[in-house]
Copies of this chain bind each other. A is one copy, B any other.
């Protein structure tokens, strides 16, 4: 049984390709979930594929919209400076230009607040500027986060209930 030895190249066979996609998509989303849980970072992902009629979104549509909005609001320079090159996963060092831009943004915070407020009044959604840090904490994301956390806690509570109840339900991990 030659189990594995696949080179990193486009899979021609459609059947194999779909199987690989299905498996790896699950793995990818799991990894995303883990880094979110472990580090509390804010992230979003969109995956298009010929195998799903509509794209999959993580962690949620609402959260993704917020992430996208913030992304859209960044300057071109900001975005390019932190762009991750697909060919080489080289994380660029934080340039002084970045820091200057951040400072400028902070200075403009009050202006942004006003703008955001108007948008809020118009569409009922708002991007909250970071509270003094460069952490782009988005209130709406926190909203989603809180909900998701609730879901998570519920699952944990449910598991505890199962354990305490002495149920014969199989709890073994299959992660």
Of chain B, the residue at the smallest CB distance from A152 is: B90
Q: How far, in whole Å, are A171 and B164 apart by their CA atoms in the complex?
A: 10
Contact in complex: A98, B53 (CB < 8 Å) = yes
Knowing A10-B38, A120-B117, A174-B173 are in contact, say whether A82-B99 is a contact too (CB < 8 A): no
7 closest Cβ pairs, A-B complex: A137-B143, A40-B146, A42-B48, A54-B82, A59-B86, A163-B163, A91-B155
Interface size on A, residues (CB 8 A): 123
Query: Which of these, B27, B39, B44, contacts A24 with CB under 8 Å?
Result: B39
Minimum distance in angstroms from A121 CB to a CB of chain B:
7
Interface residues of A (CB under 8 A from B): 6, 8-11, 17-18, 20-21, 24-50, 52-65, 67-68, 70-72, 74, 78-87, 89-91, 94-95, 98-99, 102, 113, 117, 120-121, 124-131, 133-160, 163-164, 169-175
Copies of this chain, tallied across the complex? 2
Q: How far, in whole Å, are A152 and B44 apart by their CA atoms in the complex?
A: 25
Q: How far, in whole Å, are A79 and B152 apart by their CA atoms in the complex?
A: 22
Of chain B, the residue at the smallest CB distance from A60 is: B85
Q: How far, in whole Å, are A67 and B145 apart by their CA atoms in the complex?
A: 18
Q: How far, in whole Å, are A175 and B120 apart by their CA atoms in the complex?
A: 37
Known: A32-B45, A135-B147. 9 other contacts (CB 8 A): A27-B31, A33-B86, A48-B136, A50-B133, A53-B99, A61-B80, A62-B133, A64-B71, A86-B152
